[in-house]
Every structure is written in C-alpha cells, then in structure tokens.
Amino acid sequence: MTNNSVTEQLTRLGQQIEHASFAIVDEEAGAHHYGADEWTLVRRMIHATADFEFNGLTEFHPDASAVGVDAILRGKALIADVDMICVGVSKPRLAHFGAQAHQFISDDDVIADAKAQDSTRAVMAIRKAHHLGLLDGAIVGIGNAPTALLELLRLVEQENVRPALVIGMPVGFVSAAESKDLLAEQKKIPWIITRGRKGGSTLVVAVVHALLALAEQAEKSVR
C-alpha cells in the first residue's frame, strides 16, 4: 500500500493500525467487481463502518473516481448537506489542495426560508449553495437528507447546475433509496451511491478521505 504523507494518520503507529485494518478488509471482503480506485473508496467505507455489505451496495458512475480526484487537485469545494460531514473531513488534508468544505443547513436564513416555504432546511441549504455559486465544479456530499439530493437533481435538470461529482448516500426510510436511484438514472453528472436505505455522513467522509488519498498519489506521480 502506498504511503502518503498528507492524507494518512500523523503517527507511525496510527499508520500501521490503519494499514493493518485495510489489509483485514481486503482479506475478508474477498472477490469484488470494483476497479482499483473504486475499491480504494469502498474499502475505506467498510473500514469506517465495519459493514461488508458496502462491497456490493456501492455503485459508481464510470467517471466518478477520476473526476473526484481531478476536482480535488483543482481545489474545488466540498459542499455537504450537514455539518457532520464538514466536521469529519480533515481540514488540513483539504487545505493541502486548496479546498474547503461548506454547509449551510444551520444558517438563520436557511431556517427562516424553510419555515416560510414549508420545506426542509436541507432543500434551502442546497439552494443557498447554488445562489452563492458554489455547486458548479464542486464535489457534493449528501449523507443525511434525501430532500437535499432531490433538490440538487432538480437544479441539475432545470437550472443546468453541474457539480463535478455527487456522493449520494442519504440514509433513511423516506425517499432515501428512491433519491439515490434517481441520481444513478440521470446522465448529466457523475455519481457514487449506496443502493437502498443504508448510507450516512460517515460514508461520505470516508469517500472524501479516499479521494484525497488518491489525489495525493496522483500529485506525487507528476512531480
């Protein structure tokens, strides 16, 4: 396994534990149909959750890994549906590539608009990101709110919004599976999803960290 200097644990012991964990995941997961970069993402999702069902539940647009790495290398923003993702993703790792994470779900104006329009904060937060011009070219990570993903898909279809990549992994029982199915059916933007009800912010964080690791490897290869 390639050692990275920016996107790994900060201590030797931490790195050893993480590498050992990845090796266990590789051994216990067995056969899979993913490409090398895709498996880097899925393996980290399993590592973050100890749930081997993501070997199979996770699906990729053919260009997903490549466009995600490219967006990171170009310092594009990470737009999240909830603060948990922004807290979970390493700020120093993002900063190495000149990127920042943003979320707006707890902003006063978002809350007021959601109440006034009888909508959800997640919908209004995605709209605010759009109004601020942050969605085009960004990585959008949705791990909690299906309504955020549905609103993003509306913006893609009706207002020509073009994120670089959507990590669509909302968890839950109302519209979670359906919103992910709709994301996978559209042809305009690359995506990564988990089929069905399973998902969550932890998974989005894991995917972003794996993309950051791949980006560092890519960065080293051109030096």
Please give the structure tokens belonging to residue 107.
């902003």
- 62 by Cβ neighbours in 10 Å (0-12 / 13-18 / 19+) ranks as exposed
For residues 101 and 1, what is the distance between their CA atoms, to the nearest angstrom? 28
For residues 103 and 133, what is the distance between their CA atoms, to the nearest angstrom? 13
* Residue in 72, 13, 5, 10 with CA at minimum distance from that of residue 37: 72
47 catalytic residue (yes or no): yes
101-102 vs 139-142, strand pairing mode: unpaired
- Give the active site residue among 47, 61, 96, 209: 47
Which residues are annotated as catalytic?
Answer: 47
